[in-house]
Structure 1
Amino acid sequence: MDLTLFLVIGVVIIALAFDYTNGFHDAANAIATSVSTRALTPRAALFMAAAMNFIGAHLGTQVAQTVGKGIITTPEGNHGLVIVAAGLIGAITWNLITWYFGLPSSSSHALIGGLVGSALASALVPAPPGQDSTVLWGGIVEKVVIPMILSPVVGFTLAALIMIAIYWIFRNAQPGKANRGFRYAQTVSAAAMALGHGLQDAQKTMGVIFLALFVGGYVGESDPIPQWVILSAAGAISLGTYAGGWRIMRTLGRRIIALDPPQGFAAESAAATVLYGAAIGFGAPISTTHTITSAIMGVGSTKRLSAVRWGVAGNIVTAWVLTIPMAALVAALCFFPLYWIVE
């Protein structure tokens, strides 16, 4: 086996490992509200989320194209594969750190930060002629930074509007009967949220694997994403989701605000709508974590601002801000030993 093929296989394995950590890190995004309101049992919710993740991964490739072609350009050959591998390791490391502390950070932004960090680090070492990597800052601003700012705002606002509409429509309903009805409705909204998570996050791994295959010379830039890449990315994120992310689930389900079924339904419906719009309409790799967290804050704020535990929310926002630079730093540090081993 030549070195390039060995590196391609290694990067694919690391990418699927990232996909798995993405699944258990972000499982809470889809089901925390449904579990906290007892609309679904934890295990049933995880099974449902895993199945919908798998289906959602097959609904498009717009986000995969953005990640694979719109974040960095990498040289073909071993040098480029080292850049991709270091970026993935940086993303995995940050996922594990935030999972350990129960912080719902963005796996998407960890991946993007990792790729940017490894690409920047590669500029500090000698590269063969024409083998420089480039960070596509214009694409990052358009497809990452602007959606990163807008998606939580839209999620917060939309969730608040849905919640206000629910309060008005069901203002004369018997609370017990209404809560039972919304528990059933949450089964649908949680499934929609999980479908959106698969549509968004599984595609990011597809994009990275496609990038590795392109750098290794196994696909052309205009080729479609191979079916085996779609299936493997869908399977890895589904398995990770079924493994669960209980630490983060407690943060989303209870620590930000104690949700009731109507609030859970409103938050999930708003978040799912934003995820579909960003993926299908713009191919933007937005954060499912940011979207559902902001939606939870939005529904909580309609009751009273003090209902939201803003101290917890502040810790979450801090993790959001740190994700891209910290994942970039870890990836940059990982790049150098990998470069010395391979080169």
Structure 2
Amino acid sequence: MSWLDDADDLEDDFEDYDESSVRSRPNPKANRPRTKRRPAHEDAQIGRVLGVDRGRYSVLLDEDGDDERTITAARARELRRTPIVTGDRARVVGDTTGEQGTLGRIVGIVDRTSLLRRSADDTDQVERVIVANADQMLIVVAAADPEPRERLVDRYLVAALDAGIRPLLVVTKTDLADPSSFLGHFDGLDLEVFTSARDVMPTERIGAALVGHSTVFVGHSGVGKSTLVNALVPTAGRATGHVNQVTGRGRHTSSSTVSLRYRSALGSGWVIDTPGVRSFGLGHVDPANILAAFTELAAIAENCPRGCTHLADAPDCALIEAADAGELGETGRARLDSLQRLLQTFADKPEPHGTGR
């Protein structure tokens, strides 16, 4: 048999051969269809996020239960674009014993009841989430050293009203200056005010307002916020600082936001201490939320023309017409002045770059 005969036989064999004759080794990973479905984590426990430190979260589990414990947890990969902040109610799986060296995993966040935010400045539309699920904001200012800043307090109030959070005000260092003139700026607001001297701090009155609430403390550096927190929560150990006599500015002492439990004979609550800030951007605020906080004025404002700013120069504003007609009374007039001041604070924001306005 010649080599030509062998070639003919080989060609005949290939005529009976096709791709189905090839045996391939199965690869389950390569052949598995891709899916966006994630585990349900039905066994996840719900805990309170107490603080964040370099990508690790302190989470309180079984709050007020027989097995209350604080664990350390990391963020699950699928939450890498989801901000997790102090006050969040987190769904946690993995090792939740809380023993030293263990690490749980946060796989979800329960719907928030409130969200306190600020922006870097008024033109920045990127919001910075400060705390979640707070229902009160305690604004701390000093009567002197440093001097109180009415505009900064106005910004705190706007942020609180935008978030649906009840504001409270504490004026410290009243032994150094009379705060009456400063407090007159806020006449007409439903704002509970506490005053405090260096040696006389109304911790019982303030503490009574904290019971049953989650209260975020905010204030300019150097006003005595950390001192107040330590007086209310003796185990807090928050660092305190002093005011620079040359610049008049306080030194930042609290470097992170943390939740601390307040306890008293009347009950318990949560104190959320935040770092001192010198500015509070309002780039994220919806001005409609400010008006909504003045319920009796909001009802009158329904008769305003579309797009009414409710400011003093607004044409055909129903609020101004009611005030001019004496229908608001002295208290209502003061409330309108407060509303217009807060709306003016928002209106004074510089336009974002590139708007052409």
TM-score range, shorter chain: under 0.3
Please say which structure displays the higher CA radius of gyration.
2
TM-score with structure 2 setting the length: 0.23
- Between 1 and 2, higher relative CO (CA 8 Å, sep ≥ 6) is seen in 1
Q: Give the structure with the higher percent strand.
A: 2
Instruction: Identify, as 1 or 2, the structure richer in helix.
Output: 1
